[in-house]
Structure 1
Amino acid sequence: MQTKANEKEAVSAVVDCIPAVNCENLSFKVCSMEKSTHRKRLLLYACGIFFCFFYFGILQEKITRTKYGESKEIFRCTISLVFIQCIVNAVFAKILLATVFDQPHDTTKKSYYIMCAFTYLTAMVSSNMALIHVNYPTQVVSKSCKPIPVMILGVLIGRKSYSLLKYMFVLTIVLGVGIFMYKDKAATSKTAASSDTSRMIGAGELLLMVSLLMDGLTGAIQERMKTEHQTKSGHMMFNMNLWSIIFLGIAWIATGEVWMFIDFINRFPVVIYYILGFSILSAFGQMFIFLTVTEFGPLPCSIITTTRKFFTVLASVIFFGNSLTSRQWLGALLVFTGLTLDGIYGKSAAKTK
């Protein structure tokens, strides 16, 4: 007994000699390292979004607004442009599902993918067709109004309610778009005034309105997919682009645009390189957006993409000479202010009834 007591005393003495580990300090260091790693990843994704969509916007305007050859032709094969973009996106999504994304078997109904692809595709085609009639800054600022149809359809279809702040942010966006897109009427004559009035909302603006409506419907369908089937990003990206390819392929052949596109490419082969670059940047940009939303949530992604849009407008003004009046700059400022405030404060404002 005495021996055992002596052994216990010896062990206790040894333990007392071991320096105490400060668990709080160790935990703080580990937490700091994790936060640092998180910040670096977020910065990497943000740079990826900025880089991809910055040059994506430049190439999009270069393709659609450049005047080719001595006859100053404009590229009007919008279906072909989106068709190639969707093919590259689908292939890229399939590669991600096979190598990077660890996502289980998809149970989402095909009908959801078909409807979602149709609305997504219509929004994309309308947006690209609008560039024939309006400049890129107008398209970017108008497409920044996506929260408006999403909120309206959320109330009508999704049975959601929104706070007063949410409505104020959306009102700021609407006001900014109205100021930006309004065209001053010429007071030279009744004919000129009538002509300008009729053009206040022209083909480009109507196409952008259709695009925004389709964006809202796409968001509503995707919300149903996530709620009912927990659809993952990789499957959604692949299947939406797959059905878009089917729809576009039919339209491509039915409209005869395939022959017009081939003829245009034969005469101006440099366009195909612009289109491939445009499509590859689109695919990588989507990947960075999905990574940001998955790891950091929609709030950081919203702030990043909103800031990116503003710099895209500036780039378009600098590189393509799309000058903006002081009134249009005020409208752009209101739009981006409303979107930024909505990204910071408005995400928690939506409730499901």
Structure 2
Amino acid sequence: MASGKSTTIYVGDKDLNRNRTGGDDLPEIKILCFDLTHYNRTTQFLLCCAGVFALYLVYGYMQELIFTLDGFRPYGWFLTLIQFAYYIGFGYIERSLEKTTVPRCIPMRTYALLAFLTLGTMGLSNSSVGYLNYPTQVIFKCCKLIPVLIGSVLIQGKKHGPMDFFAAFAMCLGLILFTLADSQVQPDFDPFGVFLISMALLCDAAIGNVQEKAMREYRAPNNEVVIFSYGIGFVYLAVIMLVSGHLYKGIVFCAQHPVETYGYAFLFSLTGYLGIQIVLTLVRTCGAPMAATVTTARKAVTIALSFVFFSKPFTIQYLWSGLIVVFGIYLNVYSKRSKLTFADLGKMVTTIYHGAISRTPIARQGTKKLLLEV
């Protein structure tokens, strides 16, 4: 062994240890103050999954709880402004604790685009909660894998197999059926909410792929991405709300309900900030589609808990249309293992077709013989 330190930390197969250490050029993988660099990929993935589920379940609960406040529906964008302000503060606290003096890695032009997409994703998503049944909003977010796949093709030039497109089709079908069910059982169903969450998904698809490309190219730390993305996004939104007059109205309303707005928003933002750190790590290590798959699976649990903690009408169509979406998620995960291409699919169809033709005469002869024997 090269050193006693290496012997102490890594015990077992030499090849495995070599893959873990990977030399001096191994990219640093950190979540807040926790260094995951020297864990294997499977352990990194499982730790990130556990963090995503724990934090975003609380995040979803607090988001829905805030919108139960009477009169809060028009203030989704102001909630986004508060959320961005908290995120900036959390980012600076983390940066000061780590005592990092590393200069900015990603160009400001890229951050300007990331800030715009982040604002669209979170602002439109928060606003849609005021117009949609929360499970419907979440089921839409479950299907962000569809625009993520499209974005990965357009932005990064990636190629996807037929299983990915089958997964996208299943998600679209389940989403349509879930929305139809919601429109039947919800007396206050508003199509404007569908428009808002759909636009949020388009921004979300772009932001995941832009983040992945930028973080891999420049190897920027997570807190840098958070501070600059949300800092510039905060300026965008503050100027827009100031000009439109919604900033003053939001301040007045929240001053009347400080605990239900600023207090709940603190917990909402804290869990969201920690969750973003983990999602960024997932994007860095596993790619945008896999990160989207993990967060989508978490949303399925969020939907179930929403019906448990908040009273709302339920129909069995919610269940089986949601299962179609889950099936689409499974197909996407399976596609990462099978690596099935369109050429392979064509060969399989051809083989099955020729096999069916070759067996047909034999099957008919067997049927005639059986009838004669009877």
TM-score normalized by the length of structure 1: 0.75
- Deviations 1:11-38, CA, capped at 9 Å, x for gaps: xxxxxxxxxxxxxxx7359979x9xx86
Give 2:57's aligned residue. Answer: 54
Shift of 1:60: 0.6
Alpha-carbon RMSD across the aligned residues, in angstroms, is 3.5
Shift of 1:145: 1.4
Higher RCO structure (Cα 8 Å, ≥6 apart): 1
Match 1:165 to one of 153, 163, 166: 163
Structure 2, unaligned runs of 5 or more: 1-10, 21-38, 342-374
Whether contact under 8 Å (1:101, 1:234) holds in the other structure is no
- Deviations 1:124-172, CA, capped at 9 Å, x for gaps: 1111111111111111110111121122233344333211111111111
After TM superposition, the structure 1 = structure 2 runs for residues 181-220 of structure 1, keeping only pairs within 5 Å, are 181-183=179-181, 202-220=191-209
2 CA distance for matches of 1:218 and 1:242? 16
Match 2:151 to one of 153, 157, 162: 153
SS in 1 for 2:248: helix
After TM superposition, the structure 1 = structure 2 runs for residues 264-303 of structure 1, keeping only pairs within 5 Å, are 264-271=253-260, 272-292=262-282, 301-302=291-292
Which of the two has higher C-alpha Rg?
1
TM-score normalized by the length of structure 2: 0.71
Q: Is 1:92 the equivalent of 2:90?
A: yes
Q: Is 1:65 the equivalent of 2:62?
A: no
Give 1:124's aligned residue. Answer: 122
- The range that moved more, 171-180 or 104-113, is 104-113
Whether contact under 8 Å (2:139, 2:175) holds in the other structure is yes
Whether contact under 8 Å (1:299, 1:343) holds in the other structure is no
Whether contact under 8 Å (2:174, 2:323) holds in the other structure is yes
Match 2:12 to one of 27, 36, 43: 27
Report the CA distance shift for 1:152/1:28 in structure 2 as closer, same or farther (over 3 A). closer
Q: Tell me the amino acid that sits aligned with residue 94 of structure 2.
A: L
Give 1:78's aligned residue. Answer: 76
Give 2:237's aligned residue. Answer: 248
Q: Tell me the amino acid that sits aligned with residue 60 of structure 1.
A: Q
Whether contact under 8 Å (1:63, 1:75) holds in the other structure is no
Shift of 1:97: 3.4
Structure 1, unaligned runs of 5 or more: 1-25, 68-72, 187-195
Whether contact under 8 Å (1:122, 1:214) holds in the other structure is yes
SS in 1 for 2:12: helix
Whether contact under 8 Å (1:90, 1:237) holds in the other structure is yes
Shift of 1:234: 2.7
Shift of 1:344: 4.4
1 CA distance for matches of 2:132 and 2:49? 28
Report the CA distance shift for 1:215/1:101 in structure 2 as closer, same or farther (over 3 A). farther
Q: Tell me the amino acid that sits aligned with residue 251 of structure 1.
A: I
Report the CA distance shift for 1:47/1:263 in structure 2 as closer, same or farther (over 3 A). same
2 CA distance for matches of 1:260 and 1:135? 25
Match 1:306 to one of 296, 302, 309: 296
Whether contact under 8 Å (2:163, 2:340) holds in the other structure is no
Shift of 1:260: 1.5
Identity rate, percent? 25
1 CA distance for matches of 2:99 and 2:68? 37
Report the CA distance shift for 1:245/1:313 in structure 2 as closer, same or farther (over 3 A). same
Report the CA distance shift for 1:153/1:297 in structure 2 as closer, same or farther (over 3 A). closer
SS in 1 for 2:306: helix
- Deviations 1:282-323, CA, capped at 9 Å, x for gaps: 112222334455567768755542332111101111111233
Match 1:324 to one of 314, 320, 335: 314
Give 1:334's aligned residue. Answer: 324
Give 2:30's aligned residue. Answer: none
